[in-house]
């Protein structure tokens, strides 16, 4: 385990990186602004709908079933939060730790099975 200074020092690099990444995008966009033509025309700024004048708003109603997937994802992503610490130490925990994870994954599997039985994983 590195000592405090270097440990957080690594994350300083990551932070700098994020900033420079943002800078790279903005820089390229600024460059494009310098060299690209700018000939405004109302037609250019209408919403693209395969060449036809757009009908209604772009923010239209969509299939509600996507939200089920979001819900299921939360279940499994929270699992990942528990899974990784366990994956590192489970050799030391032995059978007890393993059985606990079997039960935990079993509960999640039941959730998935329930969703499958309710037929929310398929389009009708």
Partner 1 sequence: MELNLAEWQIIIVKVAIILGVVPMAALVGGYAEHKVMAHLQHRLGPMYAGGFHGWAQTLADGLKFLYKEDIIPDAADKRVFKLAPVAIFVPVVMIYLVIPIDRTLMIENLDLGLFYLLAIGSVSSIGLIMAGWSSANKYALIGALRSAAQLIAYELPIVLAAAAVAMLAGTLSLNGIVEAQDWPFALWPIGIGQVAFLLFTVGSVAEMTRIPFDMPVAESEIITGPFTEYTGMRYIFAHMFAEMGHMVAFAGIAATLFLGGYKPIVPWEPLEVIPGFVWFFGKLVFMVFLFLWMRPTFPRVREDQLQKFAWKFLIPVGLALILAVGAWVLYAPESIKG
Q: Does 107 bind partner 1 (CB under 8 A)?
A: no
Q: Of 27-66, which residues contact partner 1 (CB under 8 A)?
A: 28-29, 31-33, 35-39, 44-50, 54, 57-60, 62-63, 66
Q: Does 96 bind partner 1 (CB under 8 A)?
A: no
Residue 88 contacts residue 97 (beta carbons within 8 Å): no
Structure tokens of 41? 């025309």
In 3D space, the residue among 74, 78, 72 whose CA is nearest the CA of residue 116 turns out to be 72
Which residue in the set 3, 51, 84, 118 belongs to the binding site for partner 1 (CB under 8 A)? Answer: 84
Residue 98 contacts residue 90 (beta carbons within 8 Å): yes
Q: Does 119 bind partner 1 (CB under 8 A)?
A: no
């Amino acid at each position: 385990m590195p000592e405090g200074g270097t440990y957080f020092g690594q994350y300083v690099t990551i932070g700098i990186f994020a900033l420079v990444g943002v800078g790279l995008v903005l820089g390229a966009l600024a460059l494009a602004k310098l060299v690209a033509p700018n000939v405004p025309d109302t037609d250019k700024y209408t919403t693209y709908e395969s060449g036809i004048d757009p009908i209604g708003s772009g923010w239209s109603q969509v299939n509600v079933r996507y939200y089920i997937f979001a819900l299921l994802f939360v279940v499994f992503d929270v699992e990942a939060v528990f899974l990784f610490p366990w994956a590192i130490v489970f050799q030391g925990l032995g059978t007890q730790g393993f059985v606990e994870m079997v039960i935990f994954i079993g509960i999640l599997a039941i959730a998935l099975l329930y969703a499958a039985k309710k037929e929310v994983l398929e389009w009708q």
